[in-house]
Amino acid sequence: MTIQEIENQIISEFANFDDWMDKYNYLIDLGKSIPLIDQKNKINNNLISGCQSKVWLRAEYNDGKIIFTADSDAVITKGIANLLIRVLSNHTPDEIINADFKFIDIIGLNEHLSPTRSNGLISMIKQMKLYALAFKTKMEAN
Amino acid sequence: MIFDINKIKQDFPILQQNIYGKPLAYFDNAATAQKPKVVIDTVSKYYSEENANIHRGAHYLSNKATESFENARKNIQQYINAENSHEIIFTKGTTDSINLVASSFGRKFISKDDEIIISVMEHHSNIVPWQILCEEKKAKLNVIPINEKGEIIFDTFEELLNEKTKLVAITHVSNALGTINPVKEIISKAHEKNIPVLIDGAQSIPHLKVDVKKLDCDFYCFSGHKVYAPMGVGILYGKEKFLEEMPPYQSGGEMIKNVTFKKTVFNELPFKFEAGTPNVGGVLGLSAAFDYLNKIGRENIEVYENELLNYASEELQKINGLRFIGTAKHKTSLISFLIGDIHPYDAGIIIDKMGVAIRTGHHCAQPVMDWFKIPGTIRASFAFYNTKDENGRLTEAILQVKKMFG
Ligand SMILES: Cc1ncc(COP(=O)(O)O)c(C=O)c1O
């Protein structure tokens, strides 16, 4: 599936929720099924700064595509990280760099985009794009 | 005056609204307090009818604004019972007041190998300015430890006092724990060795009757916005003997008597420390807030807030799995806690959605969070306009959090 197709899938899933509680219960569930970063990779180098909760994010390059794994000490943050991974993981650096994340607004999680929330959604997106850029640069240099 | 909670709540326009379809329960008073209508009206009236630049008395409005401004200074002087009105310096807030002292007192009185004492439970604004000063001057910053209840260890404080100590800077009330520090004892111990004491009063002025003469503190700092007044105005109280000797902090207009390119003669107190056009509207608002608090009665406020604290503590203790951070014997109406292993950030999102405004995180007091080895807390801080019913909403929100993350 393309990034756009996955985003559309998420949008239709979220359309089923009538209130905030369903939505957050779903995020909590998503938190539990996140592609977990290996315990040995939960190191300071993989820690994203600027969040009230801790977020570890790792990117691996495999056959032209990037695979992300993550973890957080807060469950809702973990759920949001899982959504981002679902959208971006297994795509090429170029696809990731060009993703616009309009779905976040549509599914009503834009409140988490405000820098005061400091839950790291913005930092996570930035970090994922940075990884994509780094892999792209490395690839082109080779 | 009889303390009628329902009537009091009516004085605060912002508290009348719904959030996410539920009546707002505002428990983030330690971050900033809401403003009664008289304060809002005072500021509005100033800009509608009186606005003019002060101390430049060329015309009717300017004279009038100057008079109101200086009357406000006297009113604030009386409220904290300072000896002189020129010991009341208008600043932007607590942070600004502490920075003024760190910069000006620091320049004059701190040198290499001197020592400054703070405590583990300080807000970052009573840590960082001293840290920077100590780095610049190659002085040493000593930290008073606390016990597991969140009370300072007085014996260690006494041991830290020595002939090199040049200042003690400590909070009256902790914004993260609610602990009321024994500042009177701290001050008298320090004074035995002729060491001046700065009190961070950001969290005490809204809750306690503060008498700077009785305390005998040398500096007392607070913010208007935490005491029901506008943002952007604060106070530095300083004893005349120190303020006279301290060099100016910022420089420019208002703070001078005479300027030539050869030499500038500084103005006298308090103007020496008030460079530039001040926040006149904010100052008048602060004065109006103090009038309002006097009208309700500061003893009434203390009694009611204590009752609310005891009630809320008892109610929250009934919930399984709550861990309270800061259980000092003497506390203001503030409860910091954790719900089991649930991250405060997760809890905060759900509690907010229930129309209850609390704060989660480290509350700009990271060292004390590190001391407790926690990432942060959930903090409910009460004011005299909060009710027991509203506290029930907090309980309900906590149970919801437990249900969702349990
Ligand atoms: C104890 C304490 N000191 C200082 C401050 C800083 O106050 P302001 O941000 O108004 O300067 C605060 C505010 O959070 C506080 O609680």
Task: Say whether B179 sits in a helix, a strand or coil.
Answer: strand
Q: How confident is the prediction along chain B (406 residues), in pLDDT tens digits per residue?
A: 568 988 999 999 999 999 999 999 999 999 999 999 999 999 999 999 999 999 877 899 999 999 999 999 999 999 999 999 999 999 999 999 999 999 999 999 999 999 999 999 999 999 999 999 999 999 999 999 999 999 999 999 999 999 999 999 999 999 999 999 999 999 999 999 999 999 999 999 999 999 999 999 999 999 999 999 999 999 999 999 999 999 999 998 888 888 888 888 889 999 999 999 999 999 999 999 999 999 999 999 999 999 999 999 999 999 999 999 999 999 999 999 999 999 999 999 999 999 999 999 999 999 999 999 999 999 999 999 999 999 999 999 999 999 999 8
Chain centroid, CA A74 distance in Å: 14
Q: Is residue B35 part of a domain?
A: no
Task: Dig out the tokens for A105 from the structure.
Answer: 């607004």
Task: Say whether B10 sits in a helix, a strand or coil.
Answer: helix
Q: What is the ipTM of this complex?
A: 0.90
- Identify whether the C-beta of residue B80 lies closer than 8 Å to the C-beta of residue B131: no
Give, in order, the Cα–Cα distances in Å from A39 to each of A33, A56, A62, B190.
16, 10, 20, 50
Which residue, of B268, B294, B320, is where some domain finishes?
A: B294
Chain B interface, mutation test: which of A18, A24, A51, A114, most B Cβ atoms within 10 Å?
A: A24
Work out the number of other CB atoms within 10 angstroms of the CB of residue B21: 6
Enclosing H/E stretch for B256: strand B256-259
**What range does the domain containing B380 cover?**
5-30+297-405
Are B343 and A20 an interchain contact pair (Cβ–Cβ within 8 Å)?
Answer: no
Same domain assignment for residues B209 and B331:
no
CA distance B237 to B110: 20
Same domain assignment for residues B309 and B364:
yes
- Which position among A27, A34, A48, A51 bears the catalytic label? A51
Same domain assignment for residues B125 and B50:
yes
Task: Dig out the tokens for A113 from the structure.
Answer: 């985009």
Same domain assignment for residues B279 and B161:
yes
What's the length of chain A? 142
Enclosing H/E stretch for A47: strand A47-48
Domains of chain A with bracketed CATH:
3-141 (3.90.1010.10)
Same domain assignment for residues B229 and B307:
no
Q: Which atom of ligand 1 is nearest to the CA of B363?
A: 14
Enclosing H/E stretch for B119: strand B115-119
Closest CA to B377 of B333, B329, B324: B324
Same domain assignment for residues B312 and B169:
no
Q: Is residue B287 part of a domain?
A: yes
- All residues of chain B having their beta carbon less than 8 Å from the beta carbon of residue A24 are 349-350, 353, 404
Rg (CA), chain A: 15
Q: Which atom of ligand 1 is nearest to the CA of B231?
A: 10
Same domain assignment for residues B202 and B338:
no
What's the B251 CA to ligand 1 centre distance in angstroms? 24
The DSSP bridge partners found for residue B119 are B144
Same domain assignment for residues B320 and B215:
no
What's the length of chain B? 406
CATH of the domain at B301: 3.90.1150.10
Same domain assignment for residues B376 and B350:
yes
| Number of domains present in the structure of chain B | 2
Same domain assignment for residues B19 and B132:
no
